[in-house]
């Protein structure tokens, strides 16, 4: 099941998608981007089936929301069901400031080269 969600944002972001459908990091000019391309900022949210606790950030992933491109993100205070997924990694600076782990540059560079990726294997490590 899909656990990588790319969602448009009106806030600054290192990840952008051009009107040609290609992703870029920052303002890097690439062979797939021309000076005439316009870019839209994007955030990536990687989710988990972990239990959602009070205060966790999560998104709803029902098919209707996905098809409409309307994702909601909430902090674990909202009534949840199996369509809600816990956000465990992101490029969203607001969530990073609120202690959600940031996606590193190596992954972002890989993703730009492999944009069809929809599933990321997560190895959870307990912190003792």
The rounded distance, in Å, linking the Cα atoms of 43 and 9 is 7
Question: Would you state the pLDDT for residue 51?
Answer: 81
The rounded distance, in Å, linking the Cα atoms of 56 and 22 is 31
The pTM score is 0.76
Question: Would you state the pLDDT for residue 98?
Answer: 85
Low-confidence ranges of the chain (pLDDT < 50): 28-29, 31-33, 63-70, 127-128
Question: Would you state the pLDDT for residue 73?
Answer: 60
């Amino acid at each position: 099941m899909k656990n990588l969600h790319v969602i448009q944002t009106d806030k600054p972001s290192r990840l952008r998608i051009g009107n040609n459908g290609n992703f870029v990091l920052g303002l890097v000019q690439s062979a797939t981007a021309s000076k005439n391309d316009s870019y839209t900022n994007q955030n990536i949210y990687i989710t988990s089936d972990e239990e959602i606790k009070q205060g966790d950030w999560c998104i709803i992933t029902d098919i209707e929301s996905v098809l409409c491109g309307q994702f909601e993100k909430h902090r674990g205070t909202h009534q949840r069901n199996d369509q809600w997924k816990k956000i465990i990694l992101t490029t969203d600076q607001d969530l990073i400031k609120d202690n959600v782990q940031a996606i590193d540059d190596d992954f972002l560079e890989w993703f730009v080269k492999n944009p069809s990726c929809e599933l990321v294997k997560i190895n959870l490590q307990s912190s003792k």
